[in-house]
Structure 1
């Protein structure tokens, strides 16, 4: 029944949907455009993202997920419904849907996720922790008796877990991730150059120019923004060294969190991790020099997943096939609806 199984990476910035055997079939921003006069959804995904920063006052481009969890239930339901209907149009058989959630999600937050997915037409809903899904999607066999460590840097949160025999041994979650980097880059440009830039420009700087020490990578990018001194449009150049001040404190926080998880890991599993290394996943893992910096600080080889963007969605879809062999971090959440 794999053709009726859908895996959803419900990310703060992006929603990715995958089907076992077919791979990723949808990748769109988790943005909803709303007409406030009529309280009506105008667009979702790519169409809504194109409106960010360009809409009249009565239209809002909203991200209904914050730090990996639902902050606006109604808009999240609308977002999921439209995306699921795009990829699954059978009216005869409703799909089984697995959704990845942050490792530190609360019961109330996960109930909201389940309700939104059922409203989209799912007959059965499963929840899987992001680090578990990321490991599976990166080709790690988490069912074997060996320790594996995953650091999943998403848009809203960074989830860190040590996994063995299909279950989590140690895990933590920190609210430092891709969006935090964007915010700090915006603040730094504002204070250093006296120019205001938008989130999309900050994201491009993060992807194209930003880097962690001690990497020798260097680059620059011409940026356009609004001068805080004159109020007029301004063009200037941002270099890699300009962004160290914004990037490095956040990288250090993620590395410290990973170090704390390693400190609490049983010795045998720590030995496995020393041998096999640490896997970085999520869009934030693609920050230049991050693997090199963490390897140096943690004294363990750190490598980036072969498919860091899509591995969570791919692992989420695959978990429906191997779910019975997973001990923790994977659950059938459909019965929760009976409590309401």
Structure 2
């Protein structure tokens, strides 16, 4: 091993709208919210990740928080570059390095991404210190991450519900045969909950509180089995009538009602993808079912609802939040083997 190899380390990055995960040397070394806090006057980065998330919606006029990604793609190029750089620094924090490491990076991207958006990802990674940048479509990374052999001439259907996009793809022979990429995903659910609380309870809450409601009592069906039904959750916010802070309790049934329309959009996209799949692959999907990954897969009752709609078995991946980054890490480890699915 030469000195160069010692100082270089390869990274697999799941650059998500809500969370960014990084794998280095087979370990998830970073799992942080995709957000940074900047000083408005000097433009300097004050905090990255969970530290910045604590400041979100609580800042004064000198500090602003930015989520650099919107709908699965980079919306703020400058902020994205700072965020990637800040997260890479988190890995090297414990090592006193004399030479800054040079990285080869694999970053996963939504399947419906445009050339311009692709270039933004590549440029951000290069500015953050990558010597080589490869990209892998999210559904393929998710399939590899849950242990599907993507090279087989057998169809597999992946539904990856992230923060910004829901990626639905039928995969066979190391490629995406048909796909649907819609911008209805975790962030839209959060906004639905926010709007519902304002409309129904006259309660003004922030994005972070809405996110917390989604995690604690989020459900895709208004009737759940007792073992998975969560108990009511206390929400704190500002009463729109009096302007005074107050607490109310919400149940999973209310949240299921609040996000119902958005989940219907995901159902429709799944049906569209099934309609466009070649008949031979449809037969494979009938046998194998649909695989759910991404944070949205954790919504209680979503697998059952999709199963009722499509009449197909629906499997939730284990640790669905990390399926994509695990697959990206696997592609990084066997970069020559997966060369055909990587884009440069």
**Displacement after TM superposition at 1:95 (Å):** 2.1
**Displacement after TM superposition at 1:13 (Å):** 1.1
Q: Distance in 2 between matches of 1:122 and 1:210?
A: 38
Q: Distance in 1 between matches of 2:268 and 2:334?
A: 33
- Give the alignment of 1:306-317 within 5 angstroms: 306-317=318-329
Indicate how the Cα distance of structure 1 residues 263 and 325 shifts in structure 2: closer, same or farther if over 3 A, else same: farther
Aligned to 2:199: 191
Q: Distance in 2 between matches of 1:93 and 1:14?
A: 24
8 Å contact kept, 1:149–1:278: yes
Select which of 224, 247, 251 maps to 1:215. Answer: 224
Q: How many residues align?
A: 331
Aligned to 1:59: 63
Aligned to 2:12: 7
Select which of 90, 105, 108 maps to 2:116. Answer: 108
Q: Distance in 1 between matches of 2:311 and 2:75?
A: 38
TM norm structure 2: 0.92
The answer as to 2:249 corresponding to 1:237 is yes
Q: Distance in 2 between matches of 1:191 and 1:83?
A: 38
Q: Distance in 2 between matches of 1:184 and 1:124?
A: 40
Q: Distance in 2 between matches of 1:270 and 1:54?
A: 49
Aligned to 1:300: 312
- Give the alignment of 1:154-169 within 5 angstroms: 154-169=162-177
8 Å contact kept, 1:168–1:328: no
**Displacement after TM superposition at 1:270 (Å):** 1.0
**Displacement after TM superposition at 1:53 (Å):** 1.9
Select which of 238, 241, 251 maps to 1:226. Answer: 238
Select which of 82, 107, 110 maps to 1:78. Answer: 82
Select which of 178, 183, 191 maps to 1:175. Answer: 183
Aligned to 2:160: 152
TM norm structure 1: 0.93
Alignment gaps of 5+ in structure 1: 334-340
Aligned to 2:29: 25
Q: Distance in 2 between matches of 1:310 and 1:19?
A: 14
Q: Which deviates further from its counterpart, 214-223 or 102-111?
A: 214-223
**Displacement after TM superposition at 1:140 (Å):** 1.1
**Displacement after TM superposition at 1:232 (Å):** 0.4
8 Å contact kept, 1:143–1:325: no
Aligned to 2:53: 49
Measured on the aligned residues, the alpha-carbon RMSD in Å equals 1.8
Does the residue aligned with 2:300 lie in a helix, a strand or coil? coil
Q: Deviations over 1:73-104 (max 9, x none)?
A: 11110111121233256637622110001111
Indicate how the Cα distance of structure 1 residues 159 and 329 shifts in structure 2: closer, same or farther if over 3 A, else same: farther
Q: Which deviates further from its counterpart, 214-223 or 171-180?
A: 214-223
Alignment gaps of 5+ in structure 2: none
Does the residue aligned with 1:187 lie in a helix, a strand or coil? helix
Q: Distance in 1 between matches of 2:239 and 2:76?
A: 34
Q: Distance in 2 between matches of 1:85 and 1:58?
A: 24
**Displacement after TM superposition at 1:5 (Å):** 2.3
Q: Distance in 1 between matches of 2:22 and 2:244?
A: 42
Q: Deviations over 1:39-60 (max 9, x none)?
A: 2221111111111122112211
Does the residue aligned with 2:55 lie in a helix, a strand or coil? coil
8 Å contact kept, 2:216–2:230: no
Q: Which runs of 4+ in 1 moved over 4 A?
A: 323-329
Q: Distance in 2 between matches of 1:94 and 1:54?
A: 36
Q: Which deviates further from its counterpart, 226-235 or 194-203?
A: 194-203
**Displacement after TM superposition at 1:208 (Å):** 1.5
